């Protein structure tokens, strides 16, 4: 008879540290054309910066980061360069975590396959002795032995990439890139696929900065929902407002957590924005995100030290 599982001691879970809200941006044709041009230009800068960062591998340090930011600043701006390099670092780190997960999965698959290959054909599993079942036939055993060599070769390549700090990233998504070769199966034309590809590779994002007007100097949203963005130096001819800015005709309304967002921008607290285009729906969206101040979490023992009152939330009354 197996022993019963022990119940772990209760603990308090900290609340969410970040907030993200999204609203539709009803952009006009003129606004959409400018957003697409700016997004494509910044996307090309992001792709080039990601290539440089990937070639650096594990040799990256603060000096190389500063050099990349200086190079991007000349073509965009200091704040845009900071957002681009930060996005590059996040993408590189995500790829590294993906490599770690892939290596763990490959090692597990290799161990399980080797254990089953070592067992006689058709033998059943023995849980008491920790033995797995064997494969059902000679053909299945042969196929799995070939797969074992494939898994080991794949693990060798991933481990070599990990040791060298080399990552493989597709800006726009590997799934969408592979879809280019299967347009008929997906029911797409080449033009439709290229629109999705361009939208996925655009970069229209800016990190917030506390103390600045409305919490963001690059992409600014006023209390009335007026959206404007600071154009890169190379696209300053598109400006329709002072200081190299472009003001959109469309306004945005954040209904979910709108009061919390309004409180932040009124007090000039940092708010990060991202503008993206959903080609399938034919819509533009604005996502606002910010971090909440860390709230200390009391352990259950401290909360129960002087007694507690439980509240039963009924439909028409509260019961203590």
Q: What is the mean pLDDT of each run of 10 residues along the chain (320 residues)?
A: 75 82 94 94 94 89 92 89 93 94 97 94 87 92 96 96 91 91 88 93 92 92 93 91 92 92 94 94 94 78 80 86
- 50 part of a folded domain: yes
Q: How many CB atoms lie within 10 A of CB 85?
A: 21
For the stretch 212-232, what's the b/e string if a residue is b when 16 or more beta carbons lie within 10 angstroms of its beta carbon?
bebbbbbbbbeeebebbbbbb
The pTM of this model reads 0.81
Distance of alpha carbon 59 from the chain centroid: 24
Provide the terminal-to-terminal Cα distance of the chain, rounded to the nearest Å: 43
* Torsions phi, psi for 314 (to 5 deg): -90, 180
Q: Determine the pLDDT at residue 14.
A: 77
Residue numbers of the domain that contains 216: 18-95+171-291
Two structure tokens written together for 137? 């036939």
Within a domain: 252: yes
- The tally of domains found in the chain comes to 1
Report the C-alpha gap between 192 and 135 in whole angstroms: 46
Written as six digits, the tokens of 206 are 């800016």
Burial of 285 from C-beta contacts in 10 A (0-12 / 13-18 / 19+)? middle
Rounded CA-CA distance 80/273 in Å is 12
The per-residue pLDDT for 1 is: 54
Confidence (pLDDT) at 9: 80
Residue 130 in any domain: the answer is no
Classify residue 157: in a domain, yes or no. Answer: no
């Amino acid at each position: 008879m197996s022993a019963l599982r022990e119940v772990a001691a209760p603990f308090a879970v900290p609340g969410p540290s970040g907030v993200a809200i999204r609203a539709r941006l009803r952009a006009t044709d003129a606004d959409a054309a400018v957003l697409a041009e700016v997004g494509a230009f910044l996307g090309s800068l992001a792709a080039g910066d990601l290539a440089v960062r990937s070639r650096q591998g594990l040799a990256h340090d603060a000096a190389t980061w500063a050099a990349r930011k200086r190079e991007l600043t000349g073509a965009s701006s200091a704040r845009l360069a900071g957002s681009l390099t930060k996005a590059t670092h996040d993408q590189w780190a995500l790829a590294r975590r993906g490599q770690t997960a892939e290596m763990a999965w490959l090692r597990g698959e290799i161990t399980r396959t080797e254990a089953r290959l070592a067992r006689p054909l058709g033998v059943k599993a023995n849980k008491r002795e920790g033995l797995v079942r064997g494969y059902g036939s000679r053909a299945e055993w042969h196929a799995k032995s070939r797969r074992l060599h494939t898994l080991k070769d794949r693990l060798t390549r991933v481990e070599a990439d990990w040791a060298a700090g080399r990552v493989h990233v597709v800006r726009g998504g590997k799934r969408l890139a592979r879809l280019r070769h299967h347009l008929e199966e997906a029911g797409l034309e080449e033009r439709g696929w290229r629109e999705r590809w361009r939208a996925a590779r655009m970069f229209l994002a800016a990190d917030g900065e506390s103390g600045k007007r409305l919490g963001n100097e690059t992409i600014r949203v006023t209390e009335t929902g007026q959206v404007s963005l600071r154009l890169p130096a190379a696209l300053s001819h598109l400006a329709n407002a002072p200081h190299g800015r472009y003001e959109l005709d469309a306004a945005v309304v954040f209904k979910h957590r709108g009061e919390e967002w309004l409180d932040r921008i009124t007090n000039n607290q940092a708010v990060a924005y991202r503008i993206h285009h959903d080609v399938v729906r034919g819509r533009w969206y604005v996502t606002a995100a910010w971090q909440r101040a860390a709230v200390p979490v009391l352990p259950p023992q401290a909360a129960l030290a002087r007694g507690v009152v439980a509240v039963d939330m009924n439909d028409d009354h509260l019961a203590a």
